[in-house]
Structure 1
Amino acid sequence: MFNVTAIIAEEHIRKAQNEGKFDDLDGMGRPLKPDEAANLPPELRMAYRILKSSGHLPAEILEEKEITCAIDLLEHMEDEQERYRQVQKLNIMIMQMNERRRRPVTLDASSDYYRRIVEKVRIAEERFGKPEKKHN
């Protein structure tokens, strides 16, 4: 059985290819970005994409972006006291996120997010030295 819609779509694609409309596309030759909605249940993916494209993101995603931003700030901070305050702020943000999620934020060693945090901490330690441990 022939699907008329599929046949029409294929014809449009072939026509566009022949006209060179797929040549020099933005990002051509580079891998696609990972789908941020891949871990969501299938019935929520479309809603997530619509909200994201309209500029609205779930609170969890916004919190994670804020934490990432705080980590980025730490990397460039030279004032040790301000750096300490930012670390305290970061700890509070993570603690609040854990409480809202009712589960800890786990940083899987194989995740890209984990690798970025470890790299930023390494850079900060190289730049500012390792923090001294306080003995009670």
Structure 2
Amino acid sequence: MAILSWLAEQRIQEAMRGGEFANLPGHGKPLELEDLSGVPEELRMSYKIMKNAGLLPEEVTLRAECVTLEELLMACHTSGNSTGGERKELEGKLSLKRLRLQMLLQERGLESNAAYADYGDAIGQRLGGVERDGRE
């Protein structure tokens, strides 16, 4: 294996001397490293792959949709301009999203996973200050 490492290092040095790395995006700037410490270890690789592909896990998408619906409901209550029908429709959508999220977490065995619960709380805080159980 040492020969492969040596060969790789030689190729890298040769490319550097040839200026192939000179005009890369982010050249001369610090690396932006991702903090995956809040993601359960067994989910890190799959989440990273999905993120690089521009995809989000369904539970993250559902959480974000719940936060959006909660904000819309709060806006309905504070503005006073919305009809009762709009509020009921939003409450119905929110209930369905929460039910789907709960079912999804049960299917995947994540509802009792402490690391996932902490990660969910962190996502909720980042998305809008809402904890996992819906408290602010």
What TM-score, normalized by structure 2, do the two folds share? 0.53
- Unpaired runs of 5+ residues, structure 1, are 124-129, 132-136
Is 2:108 the partner of 1:101? yes
CA shift, 1:116, in A, is 3.4
Is 2:35 the partner of 1:17? no
CA distance in 2, matches of 1:76, 1:66: 15
RMSD (Å), alpha carbons: 4.2
Is 2:58 the partner of 1:63? yes
Checking the alignment, whether the CA contact within 8 Å between 2:67 and 2:127 is kept in structure 1 is yes
Checking the alignment, whether the CA contact within 8 Å between 1:71 and 1:120 is kept in structure 2 is no
Report percent identity of matched pairs. Answer: 15
Describe the superposition over 1:47-72 as per-residue Cα deviations: whole angstroms up to 9, x where unpaired: x59x75996x7xxx632232134135
CA distance in 2, matches of 1:53, 1:107: 20
Checking the alignment, whether the CA contact within 8 Å between 2:59 and 2:105 is kept in structure 1 is no
- 2:99 maps to 92
Checking the alignment, whether the CA contact within 8 Å between 1:75 and 1:121 is kept in structure 2 is no
Describe the superposition over 1:39-97 as per-residue Cα deviations: whole angstroms up to 9, x where unpaired: 239xxx5xx59x75996x7xxx6322321341353366344614423331232022202
Q: 1 or 2 for the larger relative contact order (CA 8 Å, sep ≥6)?
A: 2
- 1:40 maps to 42
- 1:115 maps to 122
Checking the alignment, whether the CA contact within 8 Å between 1:67 and 1:94 is kept in structure 2 is yes
Describe the superposition over 1:78-131 as per-residue Cα deviations: whole angstroms up to 9, x where unpaired: 4461442333123202220232024516421xx4x42331354449xxxxxx99
What TM-score, normalized by structure 1, do the two folds share? 0.53
CA distance in 1, matches of 2:63, 2:92: 16
Say how many residue pairs are matched.
Answer: 112
Structure 2 CA distance for partners of 1:71 and 1:21, relative to 1, 3 Å: farther
Describe the superposition over 1:6-30 as per-residue Cα deviations: whole angstroms up to 9, x where unpaired: 2221111111222333334335423
Corresponding residue SS for 1:118: helix
CA distance in 2, matches of 1:22, 1:96: 48
